[in-house]
Each structure stands twice: as structure tokens, then as C-alpha cells.
Amino acid sequence: MPPVADHRVERLTDPDLDLIRPFLVELGWLEQGHFPDHPQLTREQLGSELGSIRPRFEGENHIFAVRADSGALAGFCWVVLFDPGTGLEGEVAEVFVSPPERGHGVGEALLEAAIQLFVERGVTLGYVWTRIENKPATRLYRGAGFKPTEQLVMTWYPTQGLAQP
């Protein structure tokens, strides 16, 4: 990686966190055009909905489950709620339905519970991750109202000290 230009980088602390508010509003205003199904807000509306900016955030885990007639677990849905300072977000982190229970509405019931939680809690953005080739999952998520976005998701993994293939 090339050297970074000689700029002084600082970590903002509590008293200065609101300095980024105008940038967050501008970013939100520019980005919303990529999500035409989401309400398009003015800069003023975005600014008024932006919560306090904090140095950390906490999340909540909610795990929904469905049992088969036998009492065994038929499937589960793990939902994470968190507010990074820009509004409550919800992620459907995991959905799994036992193979014998697939195709019987278990996944749909689990996602319905997740979305109901989103609605009850006032989630401003909800999402789920899956592989494009996972057709059953993409059908399930689309059926629950999730839509693909035009975003590129890039990941970073630590490589130092890890065995290379």
C-alpha cells in the first residue's frame, strides 16, 4: 500500500462528534437516490431525524424460532437491531430452516416476525445478506419485501499471521 499523505488524523471525542452532522446529512441526502423505494427526504428532514452522534453504539439480538409438530426446532431467525447514530437499523443476520421443514412456510413466518419487529421499533433501514446464487433465500427475502440494491459490498480480512493457501 502506498504511503498516506502527511495529514494529521485525530479521533473525535464526545464534545466534537456533532461536527460530522452536516456530512452525515449530505451523505444521506446523496445516497437516498440509490434507494427509490425509500422515502426521499430533504436535507432538513434528514438532519432533524439524525439522532445524537455517539462514540459507540449497542445492539440487541432477537432470535425467533418455529417448532415442528414434534417439538423439535423447525427453524430460526436471528435479528440484530442497532443504532450507529443515524437511526435504528435492523439486520436479518441468520435464517435457517431444517431441511424437512422447508417449503412449509417456516421461513416466511420467521421473516414476518422480523419485519414486525422492524415496524414496532421504527427501524429506518433493514437488510439481509445472501449469495446471489442462493435462489431459495432470495425468493424468500423478496417475498418478504426485501429488494436488491445497487451497492458494491467489499470486505477486508486480516492477512498478517494467517496461513496462506
| pLDDT, tens digit (0-9, with 9 covering 90-100), for 77-88 | 999 999 887 789
Could you give all domains of the chain from N- to C-terminal order, each with its CATH number? 11-55 (no CATH), 57-147 (3.40.630.30)
Query: Which band of pLDDT confidence, cut at 50, 70 and 90, is reported for residue 111?
Result: very high
Residue 5: pLDDT over 70? no
Q: What is the mean pLDDT of the chain?
A: 86
Query: What pLDDT is stored for residue 9 in this prediction?
Result: 64
Q: Return all residues near 96 (Cβ < 8 A) that are at least 6 apart.
A: 75, 76
Query: What pLDDT is stored for residue 103 in this prediction?
Result: 92
- pLDDT tens per residue, range 35-94: 777 788 899 998 888 877 777 778 999 999 999 889 889 999 999 999 887 789 999 999
Residue 129: pLDDT over 60? yes
* Torsion over CA: 45, 49, 52, 58 (sign): negative
The number of beta carbons lying within 10 Å of the beta carbon of residue 58 is 8
Residue 32: pLDDT over 90? no
Residue 2: pLDDT over 60? no
Query: What pLDDT is stored for residue 71 in this prediction?
Result: 85
Q: What is the identity of the amino acid at 79?
A: V
Q: Return all residues near 123 (Cβ < 8 A) that are at least 6 apart.
A: 81, 88, 89, 90, 117
Q: Return all residues near 43 (Cβ < 8 A) that are at least 6 apart.
A: 25, 26, 29
